[in-house]
Amino acid sequence: MLIAGNWKMFRGPDPQALLGLDAVVCPPFTRLRDCVDAGLTTYAQNVHWESEGAFTGEISAPLLLELGVTGSLVGHSERRRLFGETDEGVARRTAAALEAGLNVIACVGETLEQREAGETEDVLRRQVSVLPEHERLVIAYEPVWAIGTGRTATPEIAQAAHAFVKSLLDVPVLYGGSVKPDNAAELLAQPGVDGALVGGASLDVDSFRAICEAARTLS
């Protein structure tokens, strides 16, 4: 069972305080070296499809690997919503990262408007269809309406979405969307849930540790 902490654009906790946790951390670029040097399994929050070039503000898979980073998030809902990430771009980033040797957590999920319109499966099918089946690919299902809102998909909603994603692509699927210590065990106990992509709760060492412990108990 995989637990990954996405620190977003926060400095995050002291990496030394996370030693011993069986988890991935996804810090901002300025903390990648600190996390790698501390011995943590470290992923970037994004990666470009080209290995080098005139792409100001981007980072390539070879540069991440050189730093000791072993994977990357791709297609997080905030990248899609705020920075115009497209399914095509997510596919290119994913394929390039996997080819270069990185692990990838590719994010998919529907907005509240799409869910209320009954479009959840159509959205997930479109987003998943561009991704390759690969031994180093993991998908994170993150209902956009449950990210940073305090709302959480019920275990039943999460299970249904995970089962549908797995019917499209045979890869592990994490749940992401306001995962906290008080709901982690119930979500992680669902048969289709293979771990969690944790946002805000990963910034607090005790909360993140509790979620990792819940996962360890269920493994």
What is the C-alpha separation between 88 and 80, in angstroms, rounded? Answer: 11
Scan for tokens 């300025």, then name that residue: 30
pLDDT at 152: 74
C-alpha 48: how far from chain center: 16
pLDDT at 91: 98
Scan for tokens 């749940």, then name that residue: 175
Average pLDDT score over residue span 205-211:
98
Q: Which of 114, 53, 32, 43 is nearest to 74 (CA)?
A: 43
Average pLDDT score over residue span 131-152:
89
What phi and psi, each to the nearest 5 degrees, are found at residue 174? -95, 155
Q: Which two tokens stand for residue 208?
A: 């993140």
Of residues 219 and 44, more confidently modeled: 44
**Pairing between β-strand 24-26 and β-strand 2-6 as defined by DSSP bridges:** parallel
Look at residue 145 and tell me whether its pLDDT is greater than 90.
no
Average pLDDT score over residue span 67-84:
97
pLDDT at 74: 98
Look at residue 151 and tell me whether its pLDDT is greater than 80.
no
5: number of Cβ within 10 Å: 30
- Pick from 47-56, 94-103, 142-151, 188-197: least confident: 142-151
Catalytic residue annotation: 76, 142
pLDDT at 102: 98
Average pLDDT score over residue span 204-215:
98
Average pLDDT score over residue span 86-106:
98
The 10s digit of each residue's pLDDT in 100-140 is: 999 999 999 999 899 999 999 999 999 999 999 999 999 99
pLDDT at 153: 86
Q: pTM for this structure? A: 0.96
Average pLDDT score over residue span 190-215:
97
- Asked if residue 153 lies in contact with residue 175, where contact means CB atoms within 8 angstroms, the answer is yes
In whole angstroms, how far apart are CA 27 and each of 8, 34, 46, 74?
7, 9, 11, 14
Burial readout 196-206 (b: 16 or more C-beta within 10 A, e: otherwise)? bbbbbbbbeee
Q: Which two tokens stand for residue 98?
A: 């996997």
> C-alpha angle 5/89/125, rounded to 5°?
80
CATH at residue 183: 3.20.20.70
As a whole number, the mean pLDDT across the chain is 96
Q: Which domain holds residue 196?
A: 2-218
pLDDT at 72: 98
State how many domains the chain has: 1
Share of the chain above pLDDT 90, in %: 94
